[in-house]
């Protein structure tokens, strides 16, 4: 067995791991990154990027179908068709370009990438089984960073099928060889609904089953109402307050049970289980470290230190919010701390975006969360129905809402639902991180006509003098 030594060893080449590796190398730290699959992790390969690519395809296809009917814009086209194989090739091309870019950046900055599967021996030693089946490699390190990410959660009574089977995770849903006639989605969280919208816009009959009494249960109900309306408009069948019991004997339907105990069968050619994700804590020797845990997650402090000296953990492995941009920020911080800089992970707010139709953005506290935290706050919303840019985009549903303290008008939260609102989250995050007050946003000139004007108008309305409503 070959042996080598490095200052920093990172297990996992997802957004958190590769960002940490690049930043560490920039700071002159000898760094080795171990990744068993593809650089970029779940986000780049089977999550954020491919899902947004398919969302774009679905939107363009639905728009073409819209123009094949009676469009008020005066645009007429013939009925569109979909070349699914080409769609998947294009999506894969986007992913390949980005993963290739990550590899190039790691090489440019002098990070040693080891393709293989890591197994922890102790807090200073990791054994790697190379992907090419060559001799195992033993790596000794001063600092060990755990960035193993997460995987789709399966249901005991509806386990994922073997390749080609009817029960799939989001990974298989993002690379379909064919489209089913009927797709049943288990889970009305953001993953299930994003993919549900995609498949419906591509012509598939979609049914959604959710155990909670409403869709997107992690989001403010007022924000989800426009999404619920869009589901109805698209003809997506939603069963709320229902639990899945498993496939029927023939394997062509899913048995569900409502709160009253009544059972029914919902026909489906394919079943997408999207009930969340769980941290990757098994299969690579984590138990050897005997780390303190926070439930199913690795427990960390505000510097991403674990209970073992010089062992760090970031990203989905460490709990909610399980978001790529959180992992990236943590990874960068850990690299800088190892390099001797003074850093703590104390963001004022971490944006969360749901790429449904319409999109949802949440940054900071909602009115309900502010009240629960004991804050006396005011809040106001500005509807996109009163925004000129929204009307020119044929997208007038939704709103922007601001939450601010009553005493000093310090902004503590922003929420928005509507077409393209994901692009507003940077402004929301900036205002909270920089300690902006309502007057700061209200007094800033916003370009006309843009969706961003709704941000200013929400602040103006909270101050009692909105102009356009």
Read off the pLDDT of residues 416-426 as tens digits, 9 standing for 90 and up.
999 999 999 99
Residues of the chain with pLDDT under 70: none
- pLDDT of res. 154: 94
- pLDDT of res. 1: 84
For residues 231 and 147, membership in a common domain is answered with no
For residues 397 and 424, membership in a common domain is answered with yes
Domain at 437, CATH number: 3.30.390.30
- pLDDT of res. 133: 84
- The catalytically annotated residue of 143, 448, 465, 468 is 448
- pLDDT of res. 408: 98
Domain boundary among 275, 291, 319: 275
Q: Are 361 and 384 in contact (CB under 8 A)?
A: no
Q: Residue 210 belongs to what domain range?
A: 167-275
For residues 7 and 102, membership in a common domain is answered with yes
Q: How many CB atoms lie within 10 A of CB 193?
A: 30
* Residues whose CB falls within 8 Å of the CB of residue 226, separated by 6 or more in sequence, listed in order: 358, 397, 398, 417, 418
How far is it, in rounded angstroms, from Cα 403 to Cα 360? Answer: 16
- pLDDT of res. 46: 94
For residues 222 and 207, membership in a common domain is answered with yes
Residue-wise DSSP of 390-419: HHHTT----EEEEEEETTT-BEEEEEEEET
- pLDDT of res. 176: 96
Is the residue at 112 inside a domain?
yes
For residues 234 and 362, membership in a common domain is answered with no
For residues 288 and 269, membership in a common domain is answered with no
- pLDDT of res. 436: 98
Is the residue at 359 inside a domain?
yes
For residues 321 and 395, membership in a common domain is answered with no
**Can you tell me which residue has the tokens 């503590």?**
412
For this structure, is 448 an active site residue?
yes
Total number of domains constituting the chain: 3
pTM of the model: 0.96
- Report strand pairing: 253-258 vs 242-247: antiparallel
């Amino acid at each position: 067995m070959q042996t080598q030594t490095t200052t920093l060893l990172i297990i996992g080449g997802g957004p958190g791991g590769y960002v940490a590796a690049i930043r560490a190398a920039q700071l002159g730290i000898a760094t080795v990154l171990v990744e068993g699959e593809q650089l970029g992790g779940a986000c780049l390969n089977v999550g954020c990027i491919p899902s947004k690519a398919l969302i774009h395809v679905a939107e363009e296809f639905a728009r073409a179908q819209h123009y094949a009917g009676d469009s008020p814009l005066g645009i007429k086209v013939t009925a569109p068709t979909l070349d699914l194989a080409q769609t998947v090739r294009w999506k894969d091309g986007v992913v390949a370009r980005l993963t290739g870019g990550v590899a190039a950046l790691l090489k440019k900055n002098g990070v040693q990438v080891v393709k293989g599967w890591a197994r922890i021996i102790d807090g200073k030693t990791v054994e790697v089984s190379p992907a090419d089946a060559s001799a195992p490699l033993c790596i000794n390190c001063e600092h060990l960073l755990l960035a193993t990410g997460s995987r789709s959660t399966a249901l005991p009574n509806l386990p994922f099928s073997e390749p080609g089977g009817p029960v799939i995770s989001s990974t298989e849903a993002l690379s379909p060889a064919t489209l089913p006639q009927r797709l049943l989605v288990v889970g009305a969280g953001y993953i299930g609904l994003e993919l549900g919208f995609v498949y419906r816009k591509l012509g598939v009959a979609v049914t959604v089953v959710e155990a909670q009494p409403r869709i997107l249960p992690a989001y403010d109900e007022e924000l989800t109402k426009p999404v619920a309306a869009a589901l109805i408009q698209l003809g997506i069948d939603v069963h709320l307050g229902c639990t899945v019991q498993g496939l029927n004997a023939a394997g062509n339907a899913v048995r569900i049970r409502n709160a009253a105990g009544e059972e029914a069968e919902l026909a489906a050619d394919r079943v997408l289980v999207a009930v969340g994700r769980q941290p990757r804590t098994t299969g690579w020797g984590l138990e050897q470290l005997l780390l303190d845990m926070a439930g199913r997650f690795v427990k960390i402090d505000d510097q991403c230190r674990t209970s073992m000296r010089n062992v760090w953990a970031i990203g989905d492995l460490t709990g909610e919010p399980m978001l790529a941009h959180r992992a990236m920020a943590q990874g960068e911080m850990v690299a800088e701390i190892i390099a001797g800089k003074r850093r703590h992970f104390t963001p004022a707010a971490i944006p969360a975006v749901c790429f449904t139709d319409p999109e949802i953005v949440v940054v900071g506290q909602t009115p309900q969360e502010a009240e629960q935290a004991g804050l006396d706050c005011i809040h106001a919303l500005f509807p996109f129905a009163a925004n000129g840019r929204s009307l020119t985009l044929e997208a007038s549903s939704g709103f922007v809402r601001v939450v601010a303290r009553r005493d000093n008008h310090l902004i503590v939260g922003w929420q928005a639902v509507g077409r393209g609102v994901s692009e507003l989250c940077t402004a929301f995050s900036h205002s909270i991180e920089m300690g902006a007050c309502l007057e700061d946003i209200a007094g800033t000139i916003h370009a006309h006509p843009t969706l961003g004007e709704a941000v200013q108008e929400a602040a103006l309305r909270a101050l009692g003098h909105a102009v356009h409503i």
